[in-house]
Structure 1
Amino acid sequence: MSARHGKDTTMSKPKLYYFDGRGRMESVRWLLAAAGVEFDEVFLETREQYLQLLKDGALLFEQVPMVEVDGMKLVQTNAILNYFAAKYNLYGKDFKERALIDMYSEGAKDLMTFVMRHRFLPAAEQGDNLTQMENKAKSRYFPAFEKSVNQQTGYMVGDQLTIVDLQVLEVILMLEEKFPLILADFSILQKFKAKISSIPRIQKFLQPGSPRKPPPDDRYVQTARAVLNF
């Protein structure tokens, strides 16, 4: 199954290979949507699809996500994100800004991992994971993000939108789905959320019918387990 999204602004339209759900591909969708780039999606629904990609040599480390673009088959999420961020001017203006972007992005991805793994945990462990997720967000990650926002520009780094703004907003919204009042004590992040969410392309991405995926459900978990055999 495949789907087509967005507005085409490049000669080489990316093709995204992943499950029909968020996971590690969701940040790629956010980035391409913010850049106004049209992309196609191939949804992995069977073990046979995955094995065929392996047979074709498309998965260098036998992992997804994989993105086919500009004559390459890119795997490893960070490599995919960094390529698109650099290509579409969402990766800062110099090496110093990129270092800060990378640092804050790693923090956002650490926090995302707590959320992404939740539905894959045994039911008996999910309650503890929720508690840990909320505590770490409020005591470690959100204070760090608040301290890092440039209050003159409203962005995390520099004076224009970068990939880290998207990732921090993404993880905030993921957590608000589970803890609606989690930003109550973080006024700077509330303003940051409002600013980034109001950017027209991002605002469009947050509307129903966009390529943004819903929170993972049982079907998504079962499909991922079946395809990857774990």
Structure 2
Amino acid sequence: ATNEDLPLPCAGRCEAIRMLLADQEQEWKEDVVTMELWQKGEHKKLTCLFGQLPKFQDGNVTLYQSNAILRHLARSFGLYGKDQQEAAQLDMVNDGVEDLRLKYAQLIYQNYEAAQLDMVNDGVEDLRLKYAQLIYQNYVSQGRICIGQEISFADYNLVELLRNHLVLAPGCLASFPLLAAYVERVAARPHLHTYLQSTAHRDRPINGNGKQ
């Protein structure tokens, strides 16, 4: 996996992929494309479909788009639900994560002022509430993960983004105790916890502009 088109080597869109691989006890190699190399243009034009990163190589399979990579890994490691119905629900959850991520990215890269931090608590309140309801329904009626009783690719994506929000505004999940507990529960999975405590994760900036 390679990092995305950002000024600093950072977690970026690859971090949920790293979390999934670490939790599934997989090893991987990263080749970071520096901004200097990227700006020369040849790498972007000649080797990157859609002219963007991340790029992921798995044997003979080359993939772009972080969510396509997550879904490929989900199919490879049985992280796509137990049946077609759960798979469809996981797609829904993951697409909802992208709505939340868009709001986060707008704050980080376009509106990062002290007064704008209210967006974390107010601008994404509706989406956080919807996820809180989803977790509550699943907590009561099925298991204790997002959809069904087993970890999925959507869990890594959602937990990674919510953890980013908690760095920016530590109290942003205070009104959603089940959602906060869900984040802690997933992050406490032994292999994932080891990765999240590693210097490789902790020393890597969350965002490419240094804002977090």
Normalising by the smaller structure, the TM-score range is: 0.7 to 0.9
Match of 1:97 in 2: 86
SS in 1 for 2:167: helix
Please tell me whether the aligned partners of residues 30 and 205 of structure 1 are also in contact (alpha carbons under 8 angstroms): yes
Please tell me whether the aligned partners of residues 56 and 69 of structure 2 are also in contact (alpha carbons under 8 angstroms): yes
Match of 1:133 in 2: 120
Matched letter for residue 173 of structure 1:
R
**1:214 maps onto 2:176 in alignment:** no
Match of 2:23 in 1: 34
Using the alignment, how far apart are the partners of 2:35 and 2:175 within structure 1? 44
187, 191, 195: which one pairs with 1:205? 195
1:122–1:153 CA distance, 2 compared to 1 (3 A): closer
- 5+ long unaligned stretches in structure 2: none
Moved over 6 A (4+): none
Please tell me whether the aligned partners of residues 3 and 10 of structure 2 are also in contact (alpha carbons under 8 angstroms): no
1:50-199 counterparts in 2 under 5 A?
A: 51-54=41-44, 57-121=46-110, 126-127=113-114, 129-138=116-125, 140-149=126-135, 150-151=138-139, 152-199=142-189
Using the alignment, how far apart are the partners of 1:82 and 1:42 within structure 2? 21
SS in 2 for 1:74: strand
Using the alignment, how far apart are the partners of 2:119 and 2:210 within structure 1? 25
Match of 1:8 in 2: none
Using the alignment, how far apart are the partners of 2:3 and 2:166 within structure 1? 27
Q: RMSD across aligned C-alpha pairs, in angstroms?
A: 2.3
- 5+ long unaligned stretches in structure 1: 1-14, 221-230
Matched letter for residue 62 of structure 1:
G
Matched letter for residue 84 of structure 1:
L
Please tell me whether the aligned partners of residues 24 and 77 of structure 1 are also in contact (alpha carbons under 8 angstroms): yes
Instruction: Give the TM-score, by structure 2 length.
Output: 0.84
CA deviation string 1:52-99 (max 9, x = no partner) = 3345x4212111111122213211222111101111111111111111
Aligned residue pairs: how many?
202
Using the alignment, how far apart are the partners of 2:206 and 2:60 within structure 1? 32
**Structure (1 or 2) with the greater strand fraction:** 1
Please tell me whether the aligned partners of residues 146 and 189 of structure 1 are also in contact (alpha carbons under 8 angstroms): yes
| CA apart distance, 1:176 | 0.8
CA deviation string 1:9-59 (max 9, x = no partner) = xxxxxx43546202222222222122221111111114435633345x421
CA deviation string 1:126-148 (max 9, x = no partner) = 4565333321332x112111111
**Structure (1 or 2) with the greater helix fraction:** 2
Matched letter for residue 137 of structure 1:
V
| CA apart distance, 1:209 | 1.4
Please tell me whether the aligned partners of residues 64 and 76 of structure 1 are also in contact (alpha carbons under 8 angstroms): yes
SS in 2 for 1:61: helix
1:58–1:217 CA distance, 2 compared to 1 (3 A): closer
Matched letter for residue 205 of structure 1:
Y
Please tell me whether the aligned partners of residues 204 and 210 of structure 1 are also in contact (alpha carbons under 8 angstroms): no
Please tell me whether the aligned partners of residues 103 and 124 of structure 2 are also in contact (alpha carbons under 8 angstroms): no
Q: Which has the higher contact order (CA 8 A, sep 6+)?
A: 2
